[in-house]
Structures are given as structure tokens and as C-alpha cells.
Amino acid sequence: MEFFLEISLNSIGFLVGIIIGTISYIGFKNTASPTLFRLSIAFFAIGIGFGILAVGFILDDMIFETGDINTGISMLGITSQVVGYWFIAFSHTIKTFFPKSRYFRSIGALPLFLVSFGYVETILRAVSFILLVYGAIETMISYAQGRKKTTLFVAIGLGLLGFGEFIGWYSFVFPETILYVVSIVIKISGLISVGIPVSKIPLRKISFDENL
């Protein structure tokens, strides 16, 4: 039953990420916005990460039968999600949400230097958490200054994604609990919240009155 929930929720996360990524890409094609292009990469990466994890659980349930997802597959899925989080939190053109910070931008390179193979998953989750919490705090500051609802949705979404990663870390430490399922539900909710502003983009090409 637990495996079924994990497969189902990761599959839902995959669909949500791909759908929002597709909307972002359509918006990019119609508006030529670099921000939307980067967001499409972010949501596709996060969605694919969920999909990889879902496939990992399916393979274990049907073939490996070890009772847990393969470590390599798990790290691949989490890495894909980290890439997506990085694009959301630190994309150069989303500076209306996130001011420049060389210190926090350098965090993305830490895994290349500090990784010990046995702790890759823990480090990736830690990097995700740091990226998302920083993004959520800076976005809340931006919301306090501008009071834009879209900014609030992004802040809430990043906060939920960060909280989901935190719960996910605890599920890694205590694998026999329901924490992993809870973390996926929270992350999907955060993904939807971040995607709400994207849903407001034009889905048709912008046309101009020739008489203007």
C-alpha cells in the first residue's frame, strides 16, 4: 500500500511538473520571455525528477523487490529536482523575486567539491532545502515591498517545497514512516502554488493593432 502511494504521488508530481512546464514553454513561445524559458526548464526538471522516482519505485516493486528504491535512481531523481529548484530560485531573469547574492549562488557548486558517494542524497536534499528557504525568504521580502499576489504565491510555494524537502530528509533518516508520502504531498502543493502565476501568462500569441 505504501509503495502504491509513493508511485501514485510521484506520478502526480511528474504530471504537475510537466503540465506547468508546458504552459511555461507555450508562454515563452508566444512572448519570447527568457524568464518563462528558464521556468519551463525548472518545471520540466522537477517533473522529470518525480517521474524518475516513480519509475524507481515501480522497478523495485516489479523487478528488484528489495523494499526500497534503488539508490542510484533515487539520486538521479533528486538531482533533477535540485536543477529545477536552482532555476526557480536563482534564474538571472527572476531578479524581481530574488536579488543577486554571490554567496548563495555559489551553493549550487558545493556538491561538486564536498560529495562523498555515501552522502550524496543527504547533501542534495540539504542543497535543495537551502535554495528553497533562501528563495522563500527573499520572495516574502519582495512581497512585503510590492504586495503582489503572484509574488505571495511564489513565496508560499517555495516555502512548501522547502518544508517538503525537510520532511523528505527525515524520511530518509526514518525510512519506515509515512514521512516520505507527506513530503511528496507538500512538495506537490508547493509546485502548484509556484505554478499559479505561470497559469496567468498569455497562451496565445500577442497581436498588436496595426493602426496604433
Instruction: Give the pLDDT of residue 139.
Output: 83
The answer, yes or no, to whether residue 136 has pLDDT greater than 90, is no
Q: What is the pLDDT at residue 209? A: 37
Closest to 153 (Cα-Cα) out of 20, 18, 58, 29? 20
CB 174, CB 132: distance < 8 Å: no
Residue 204: the pLDDT is 52
Residues contacting residue 7 through CB under 8 Å, at least 6 positions apart: 54, 57, 58, 61
The more confident residue out of 172 and 191 is 191
Residues 6+ apart with CB under 8 A from 148: none
Helices (H), 91-178: 102-105, 110-114, 120-146, 149-173
Q: Residue 201: pLDDT band by 50, 70, 90 thresholds?
A: low
Percent of the chain topping pLDDT 90:
28
Q: How confident is the model over 54-109, as pLDDT tens digits?
A: 999 999 888 877 777 888 898 899 999 989 988 887 654 344 444 444 444 444 44
The answer to whether 183 touches 167, Cβ cutoff 8 Å, is yes
Reference 91, options 80, 100, 81; nearest CA is 100
The answer to whether residues 161 and 194 touch, using CB atoms and an 8 Å cutoff, is yes
User: Of 39, 48, 54, 59, which Cα lies nearest the Cα of 6?
Assistant: 54
